[in-house]
Structure 1
Amino acid sequence: MTTASNKSYASALYSLTMVFFFWGFLAGANGVFIPFCKSHFDLTQFESQLIDSSFYGAYYIGSLLLYLYSSRVGYDFLNRIGYKKGIIYGLLISVIGAVCMIPAVNSSQYIFILMAFFVIALGFSLQQTAANPFAVALGDPATGAHRLSLAGGINSFGTTIGPIIITLILFGTVVATPEQVANAPISSINILYIILAGVFLLVAAFFAIKDMPRVTSDEEPEHSSKLTRALLAITVSLLALIIIGFTLPEHFGHNSTLALLIIALLSVVIILFFSNSAAQKDGSGWGAMKYPQLTLGMLAIFVYVGVEVTIQSNLGALLKTPEFGGYDESQISHFISLYWGSLMIGRWMGAVTVFKMSKRMRMLLSVAVPYLAFGVILAVNRISGRDVSDLYIYAVCIAVMIGANFWAQAKPAKLLMALGILGVVAMLIGLYTDGEIGIFAFISGGLVCSIMWPSIFALSITGLGKYTSQGSALLIMMILGGAIIPPLQGSIADVLHDIHLSYWVPVVCFAYLAFFAWKVSDILKKQGHDIENINTEGGH
């Protein structure tokens, strides 16, 4: 790989972190945008979650198209054009999506808004594929993980302030009256996307004219025909189910929608495990899929992204119920901000481990940094005009996460197991309580998710050898979980007529992640790997 270890590319890195910021900004803003669209378009809970489906589904489609193209032509597309151009092309695709959002909004057709979201996220998928290795290359490779941690922290900051800014744009104030909510025009979204289109274009122009290293990978794609067929089988199955869903008569109702989503989930699971089973018998043509830790890890990433998104995407509907405060769309931004800010809290804490320092200093910072991040969240919300006194009690949840982190001692399997169990407990507390206790129990799911990604990723690619790059690409594809699990929970809420009970979905997700930690530990030990010393530097 070409790097820039002998030059300073600080300004390029700062511009790159802006790209990370906008990924987080839009992902976090969806928590406010989803209930807003649900109200304006009179959507069911399932229909409102299609915003997540279009957003995260684009990540899967984008990654799949890159994989298929590279496999067909025999060379890696990004390797040929360079990661810098990959980011520029991704930004330009997102510009097209942001511009398309304006006529989509003016048409008042929800389907066009979903299509515009898809195009924006399609650009994001190309940006994300290129930006991570590019960040590593902008300086000394030995400190590449530090730059990824910085970028991850900026990404989480974007998810924290996104809900607040979106609320301000949609309602004209951070704290709106019910009348302001009812009268807020859908066209107010235009302002946001005009700004985003302009910013995306400016960043693309900056990258185009800035002197940066030409960064490429030395690895070429592995020709894995059977793996390609498995990925196409997943894609065709999902597309068929989408077509069936759109063509079913309305009188089939919510039950048929739920059945289709369950079939979609089962299709992914069955194809993955059938592929791994076949690869165990004859590994030729299967590439990285012959490793059971990768197959389990692909499902773990699928579940992880799904649960991270579904908790907050359905939170707006939960907060509207009388048992959870009866809030309207304009009053939930600080809760959504706290949820996404929880990921920032955990990731800032996780970033402490990548810097060289004494054990005592690391322990002190592992306690101080999470509360510093919490202070940033409170300050941002306070500056925006919100009363944040109802958030102070959340400091207890942060203390629990810090305790789990100390107990795990940065061992990925142990940490993931602890977080998975904590996630199950938090969701059960939320299910069997209401009011502030229930709200903060569900929001603490963000803390649990915050530092799961590096553990899942590291455990999944351990022992893959020459298939590591391919395995990493397959794991990124499984961001697809964010497109299936949120609408699945929304559909369950529609069928049960109870958004609260639908939170059994995150319970199952966290239970699988705890199971994955236990199972993959056993697999790696049998393969002769030391799971106590697996590197988890960097983060999502």
Structure 2
Amino acid sequence: MSKKNSYLGPLFIIGILFFVMGFVTWVNGTLITFFKKAFSLDNTSSYLVTFAFFISYTVMAIPCSIVLKKTGFKNGMSLALLVMGIGTLIFIPAAEMASYPLFLVGLFTIGIGLTVLQTASNPYATILGPRESAAQRISIMGIANKTAGIFSQIIFGKLLLAGASSADPKSELDKVAMPYLVLTVVLVALAIIIRMSKGLVEVSEEEDDDTPIAAQQVAVQKTSVLQFPNLVLGVLALFCYVGAEVIAGDTIISYGVSLGFPEEEARLFGTYTLYGMMFGYVLGIVLIPKYVSQQAYLKFSAILGLIVTVIAINSTGFTSVICIAILGFANAVIWPALWPLALSGLGKFTKIASALLVMGISGGAVLPLVYGSIADSIGSTQKAYWILVPLYIYMLYFGLVGHKKKSW
């Protein structure tokens, strides 16, 4: 059996996990609009949804890496699904009590499970095959992730945003209970299946046949993960990227409503962003690494993100909404390109490095909250998108210079 065929089975299972991650992550855009209406929240308060969800990545990334060292990838993934199931289960008493803070606790708990899952699955997909095609493999995982996101936004948009009214928040919140009970059952069942699966093999973070011998020797000589500039700069790049991705994906529904679009129409805007991301992933699979390097694609994506952001801020109506959606296409391959560039040459430090990269996902917690605060303070959800400009500029720097630095 060829090496390629040997990792197709495990990648299929990882693809299922990416689908699960996408389903529970991308419903947040719908939840923001739903809770904003049900609890009569301002922009800043409504984006506590993303804050509670993504801040868990900062709080739990290092502990999760320690857990993974004890459990290994496979058992860690199973544990992650169980923790996510606890988080979705919390939504049921939160709906009964009409408690926004308890909903946030549930989102934080789901985020803890996702932290373990991200810390395990991304390096697993990176290490399992050749380094130069890592972005291609993670792009395939991204398609599974965004397909799930489209399904979740369509399903939950129909369930939660149809006729939502702040006049009777309790009756609106009752809509949450049954879908999240079903999610709980699915997550627990998947945890059991993953635990019993023979398809997922353990891989060592030092199993990196594509890392040059010289780079492996450098990794052995270094004593701290912070001695790798490409990793440290990559963590910051990931922080900027996830913030930009979440802003583009999770604010677009509320943005459409603020522009005067009916909620029934605006609830589908989030899927436009995800369709853009899926198209970007497909293009990445076709082009990387045969026709273009992952570094080149990263630079192109950052430049496109800059251009489209400026157009979105200076255009009106549906044109502006579509530009925010196009950011999905611009963002698509940044994530899969960043991971292998940031982990390049890390060797035995790969798991702790992966945990630090996962901490960068906290950009999805902090930056949408900053966006909401800016929108409230200046009274414009459109002008608040200026926050994206410095984020794309830094990602461009990492693609041009940052990932090449091997010493401080």
- For the pair 1:314 / 2:304, whether they are aligned, the reply is no
Given the alignment, which residue of 282, 285, 305 partners 2:242? 305
The percentage of counterpart residues that share the same residue type is 28
Q: C-alpha distance in 1, partners of 2:344/2:329?
A: 25
Separation (CA, whole Å) in 2 of partners of 1:319 and 1:505: 18
Equivalent in the alignment of 1:334: 268
Q: Which of these residues, 231, 256, 262, is aligned with residue 294 of structure 1?
A: 231
1:440 and 2:334 are equivalent in the alignment: no
Rate the CA distance shift 1:411–1:169 in 2: closer, same or farther, 3 A.
same
Counterpart mapping for 1:144-163 below 5 A: 148-163=138-153
3-state secondary structure, aligned to 2:204: coil
Deviations 1:116-166 (A, max 9, x none): 011112111112222345557889999987664433221121122221111
Q: Distance in 1 between matches of 2:392 and 2:134?
A: 30
Confirm or deny: 8 A CA contact 1:5 1:138 kept in the other structure.
no
**Structure 1 position 110 matched with structure 2 position 110:** no
CA distance in 1, matches of 2:131, 2:241: 28
Q: Does 1:517 align with 2:399?
A: yes
Q: Give the 3 Å change call, closer, same or farther, for CA 47–134 of structure 1 in structure 2.
A: same
Q: Deviations over 1:257-302 (max 9, x none)?
A: xxxxxxxxxxxxxxxxxxxxxxxxxx986x1212333222211100
Question: What is the match of residue 296 of structure 2?
Answer: 414
Aligned to 1:229: none
1:131 equivalent to 2:121? Answer: yes
Contact 1:9 1:138 in 2 (8 A): no
Which of 61, 64, 74 is 1:84 aligned to? 74
Cα gap change, 1:4/1:180 in structure 2, threshold over 3 Å: closer, same or farther? farther
Aligned to 2:212: none
Of structures 1 and 2, the one with the larger relative CO (CA 8 A, separation 6+) is: 2
Pick which of 209-218 and 294-303 moved more.
209-218
1:156-171 alignment to 2 at 5 Å?
156-171=146-161
- Report whether the alignment pairs 1:449 with 2:331: yes
Does structure 2 retain, via aligned residues, the 8 Å contact 1:169–1:191?
Answer: no
Give distance in 2, aligned partners of 1:111 and 1:132.
31
CA distance in 2, matches of 1:142, 1:312: 28
Q: What are the residue-to-residue correspondences of 1:13-412 with 2, within 5 Å?
A: 14-67=12-65, 70=66, 77-132=67-122, 134=124, 148-171=138-161, 176=162, 185-217=172-204, 287-321=224-258, 324=259, 326-353=260-287, 409-412=291-294
Moved more, 180-189 or 113-122: 180-189
1:444 is paired with a residue whose SS is: helix
CA contact (8 A) 2:238 2:335 kept: yes
Distance change (3 Å), C-alpha of 1:199 and 1:460 = same
**For the residues of structure 1 that align with 2:196 and 2:323, how far apart are their CA atoms?**
48
Q: Which moved more, 1:464-473 or 1:27-36?
A: 464-473
How many Å separate the matches in 2 of 1:337 and 1:33? 14
Any gaps of 5 or more consecutive residues in structure 1? 71-76, 221-282, 360-408, 528-540
The aligned amino acid for 1:445 is L
* Structure 2 unmatched runs, 5+: 208-220
1:413 to partner: Cα distance: 3.6
RMSD: 3.3
Cα distance in 2 for partners of 1:461, 1:454 equals 11
1:431 aligns with 2:365: no
Equivalent position SS for 1:42: coil
| TM-score normalised over the length of structure 1 | 0.65
Report the residue type matching 1:424 in the other structure: L
* Cα distance between partner residues in 1 of 2:124 and 2:229: 29
Contact 1:5 1:140 in 2 (8 A): no
Closer, same or farther in 2 for the Cα pair 1:194/1:152, shift >3 Å? Answer: same
- C-alpha distance 457-208 of structure 1, shift in aligned 2 (>3 A): closer
Aligned residues: 393
Show CA shifts across 1:317-366 (max 9, x none): 32123xx3x124332232110102211111122122469xxx7xxxxxxx
Distance across 1 between alignment mates of 2:117 and 2:16 = 12
Assess if the C-alpha contact under 8 Å between 1:52 and 1:482 holds in 2.
Answer: yes
Q: Flag the 1:194–1:4 CA change in 2: closer, same or farther, 3 A.
A: farther
Q: In structure 1, what is the Cα distance between the partners aligned to 2:192 and 2:84?
A: 14
Distance 1:518 1:33, change over 3 A: same
**In 2 relative to 1, CA 177–350 (structure 1 residues): closer, same or farther, beyond 3 Å?**
same
Q: CA deviation at 1:306?
A: 0.4
Once the two structures are superposed, residues 215-259 of structure 1 have per-residue CA deviations (whole angstroms, 9 ceiling, x without a partner) of 153659xxxxxxxxxxxxxxxxxxxxxxxxxxxxxxxxxxxxxxx
1:181–1:164 CA distance, 2 compared to 1 (3 A): farther
Q: Which has the larger radius of gyration?
A: 1
2:303, 2:53 → 1: CA distance? Answer: 29
Distance (Å, rounded) in 2 between the aligned partners of 1:411 and 1:464: 20
